[in-house]
Amino acid sequence: MALAAVAGLIHSGHGASFVPHADYPSDPACRPHIYELDGSCWVGLSETKRAAINQSSDVLASVASGRAAAFGFTYIDARNTFRGHEICASGARWINSVTCPVDESYHPNATGQRGGYYNAREPVA
| Longest CA span, the chain | 46
- Residue at 2 is within a domain: no
What's the CATH code of the domain at 109? 3.40.50.1110
Q: What is the CA radius of gyration of the chain?
A: 14
- 22 pLDDT above the threshold of 90: no
- Specify the number of domains making up the chain: 1
pLDDT at position 31 is 55
What is d(CA 32, CA 108) in angstroms, rounded to the nearest whole number?
Answer: 9
What is d(CA 43, CA 20) in angstroms, rounded to the nearest whole number?
Answer: 31
Give pTM, 2 decimals. Answer: 0.67
- Residue at 1 is within a domain: no
- Residue at 3 is within a domain: no
Domain carrying residue 57: 8-124
pLDDT tens digits, one per residue of 36-80: 898 888 888 899 999 998 899 889 889 988 998 999 888 888 888
- Residue at 116 is within a domain: yes
